[in-house]
């Protein structure tokens, strides 16, 4: 009798998108002609950079010719892309050994799969409000412990982030072994400054902990006090894995490519106290679980580092950011308290009055046909907030803000 991994019974991964769809569909049944605008999406709507398309076509042609055909990619990725990544780090003054860079098929798989190489008894911290995927992957991989009386997980430390600190995650009182940090953060769109990140790096060094640093939105950062990489902080190579993605800044959500950095200095411990380089474990994991990202996709990613490619990425990012800024300005002018929307595509708003997140979701849907994500789906600290995004098309964004200008609040 084959037994199931019962950890899967305990996650609520798709609850909120299902619930949002259910409520939107109920509205549509009553108002079939309604023009609904979704500012919920975390997917991109801007087409791929032309340089990436050119590279895809060229690589596809190569695959049709015996002399240039490629089979399996190296499990960690091709040197042509890794070298571009290493060079890119150099532009911000960081030296990364190319052996430490692993091409991934987007950030999400690595953010979850890192659980394969971490002990199940680790205490893991997640900042809240947070993307459900960190918590869910901890639970699925059996690292959650047991469910406590208040419906939390015993081996997860939830770090409540609130408006008093602009949603920056504060160092917990207790020791944690692993912490997920996301900078800029989804859903709040807020950032972790260099000085706050230094506190985290120092904490991790002190406690022999590791930081899983989710950089999926790094391309949106421009504020000078926010690091582009955790490795800008002294000592971070001893404690942090950095996970990147081309999804949001270059429209690669459907192509699937990014990269992860496992510095050679980063060590974890066997129960005997023996130290092991996390890089070695990840290399073994990769050898057994992946045969690499397709050649054609890696060539598309490489093209993003050309002058033209970079210009196109910058255009994509600035379009998304100007959508986010427009949403933020509109809501602010309506007297709402708003975060994010500067170094991030996400805009996080305090719902007016003492309404719950779902109540305001329904109000906005019925009064303006604009859909946002209720903040409480990102954890209890998100109650009373809502997330909107700059990923819709400029036309849809403009139409949505026109309605937000007028909607009764
Ligand atoms: N990290 C964060 C914070 C995200 O919001 C997302 C996707 O929305 C991801 C990672 C995953 O991105 P991808 O797997 O497309 O690289």
36 and 57: one domain?
no
Tell me the CA–centroid distance for residue 325 and ligand 1, in Å: 21
285 and 355: one domain?
no
Ligand 1 closest atom vs CA 42: 8
Domain boundary among 244, 271, 304: 304
Question: Does any ligand 1 atom lie closer than 6 A to the CB of residue 107?
Answer: yes
pLDDT in tens, 75-91: 999 999 999 999 999 99
Ligand 1 closest atom vs CA 252: 15
175 and 222: one domain?
yes
What is the percent of the chain with per-residue pLDDT over 70, rounded to a whole number? 99
User: H or E segment at 138?
Assistant: helix 132-140
Domain boundary among 266, 289, 304: 304
pLDDT in tens, 263-296: 999 999 999 999 999 999 999 999 999 999 999 9
- Give the number of other Cβ atoms within 10 Å of residue 344's Cβ: 27
Separation between Cα atoms, residue 261 and residue 86, nearest integer Å: 10
Instruction: Give the total number of structural domains in the chain.
Output: 2
CATH of the domain at 118: 3.40.640.10
Structural domain including 29 reads 15-44+309-406
Residue 8 lies in a domain: no
User: Which strands sit side by side in the sheet containing 373-374, from one edge to the other?
Assistant: 338-340, 346-350, 385-389, 373-374
357 and 242: one domain?
no
In our burial notation (b when 16+ CB lie closer than 10 A, e otherwise), range 256-289 reads bbbbbbbbebbbbeeeeeeeebbbebbbebbeee
Residue 7 lies in a domain: no
Residue 4 lies in a domain: no
190 and 296: one domain?
yes
Q: Which residue from 16, 345, 283, 5 is spatially nearest to 144, judged by alpha carbons?
A: 5
* pLDDT beyond 90 at 58: yes
Distance of CA 195 to the CA centre of its chain: 21
Tell me the CA–centroid distance for residue 228 and ligand 1, in Å: 17
Domain boundary among 263, 284, 304: 304
The residues, ordered by sequence, that sit 6+ positions from 34 with a Cβ below 8 Å of its Cβ are 27, 28, 369
Tell me the CA–centroid distance for residue 180 and ligand 1, in Å: 13
270 and 353: one domain?
no
* pLDDT beyond 90 at 392: yes
DSSP string, 204-238: HHHHT-EEEEE-TTGGG---TTS-SSGGGSTTGGG
183 and 325: one domain?
no
Q: Is the pTM value of this prediction over 0.85? A: yes
Residue 369 lies in a domain: yes
pLDDT in tens, 205-224: 999 999 999 999 999 999 99
pLDDT in tens, 157-204: 999 999 999 999 999 999 999 999 999 999 999 999 999 999 999 999
169 and 244: one domain?
yes
237 and 95: one domain?
yes
78 and 130: one domain?
yes
For residues 100 and 134, the answer to whether their CB atoms sit within 8 Å is no
Chain length of the chain: 409
Separation between Cα atoms, residue 99 and residue 75, nearest integer Å: 12
- For residue 102, name the pLDDT band (cuts at 50, 70, 90): very high
Question: Does any ligand 1 atom lie closer than 6 A to the CB of residue 397?
Answer: no
Separation between Cα atoms, residue 285 and residue 49, nearest integer Å: 32
86 and 204: one domain?
yes
Residue 3 lies in a domain: no
The residues, ordered by sequence, that sit 6+ positions from 206 with a Cβ below 8 Å of its Cβ are none
30 and 83: one domain?
no
Residue 5 lies in a domain: no
Residue 6 lies in a domain: no
CATH of the domain at 317: 3.90.1150.10
Residue 9 lies in a domain: no
The residues, ordered by sequence, that sit 6+ positions from 290 with a Cβ below 8 Å of its Cβ are 75, 105
Question: Does any ligand 1 atom lie closer than 6 A to the CB of residue 219?
Answer: no
């Amino acid at each position: 009798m084959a037994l199931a991994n019962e950890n899967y019974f305990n996650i609520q991964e798709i609850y909120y998108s299902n619930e949002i769809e259910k409520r939107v569909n109920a509205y549509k049944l009553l108002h079939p002609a309604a023009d609904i605008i979704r500012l919920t999406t975390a997917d991109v709507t801007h087409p791929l950079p032309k340089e990436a398309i050119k590279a895809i076509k060229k690589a596809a042609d190569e695959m049709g010719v015996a002399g240039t055909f490629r089979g399996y990619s190296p499990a960690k990725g091709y040197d042509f892309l890794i070298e571009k990544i290493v060079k890119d780090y150099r532009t911000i003054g960081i030296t990364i050994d190319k052996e430490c860079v692993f091409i991934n098929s987007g950030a999400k798989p690595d953010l979850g799969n890192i659980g394969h190489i971490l002990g199940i008894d680790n205490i893991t911290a997640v900042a809240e409000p947070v993307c459900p995927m960190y918590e869910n992957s901890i639970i699925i991989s059996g690292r959650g412990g047991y469910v406590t009386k208040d419906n939390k997980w015993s081996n997860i430390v939830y770090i409540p982030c609130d408006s008093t600190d602009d949603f920056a995650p504060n160092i917990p009182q207790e020791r944690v072994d692993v912490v997920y940090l996301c900078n800029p953060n989804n859903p709040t769109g807020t950032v972790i400054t260099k000085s706050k990140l230094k506190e985290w790096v120092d904490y991790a060094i002190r406690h022999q902990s590791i930081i899983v640093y989710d950089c999926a939105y790094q391309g949106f950062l421009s504020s000078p006090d926010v690091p582009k990489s955790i490795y800008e902080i002294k000592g971070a190579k001893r404690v942090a894995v950095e996970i990147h993605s081309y999804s949001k800044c270059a429209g690669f959500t459907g192509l699937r490519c990014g990269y992860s950095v496992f510095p050679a200095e980063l060590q974890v411990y066997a129960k005997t106290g023996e130290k092991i380089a996390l890089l070695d474990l990840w290399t073994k994991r990769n050898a057994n679980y992946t045969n690499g990202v397709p050649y054609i996709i890696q060539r598309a990613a490489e093209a993003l580092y050309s002058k033209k490619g970079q210009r196109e990425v910058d255009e994509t990012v600035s379009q998304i950011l100007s959508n986010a800024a427009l949403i933020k300005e509109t809501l602010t002018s309506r007297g709402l308290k708003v975060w994010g929307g500067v170094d991030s595509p996400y805009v996080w708003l305090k719902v007016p009055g003492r309404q719950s997140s779902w109540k305001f979701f329904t109000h906005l849907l019925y009064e303006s046909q604009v859909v946002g994500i209720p903040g409480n789906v990102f954890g209890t600290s998100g109650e009373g907030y809502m997330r909107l995004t700059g990923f819709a098309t400029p036309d849809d964004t403009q139409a949505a803000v026109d309605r937000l200008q007028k909607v009764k609040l």
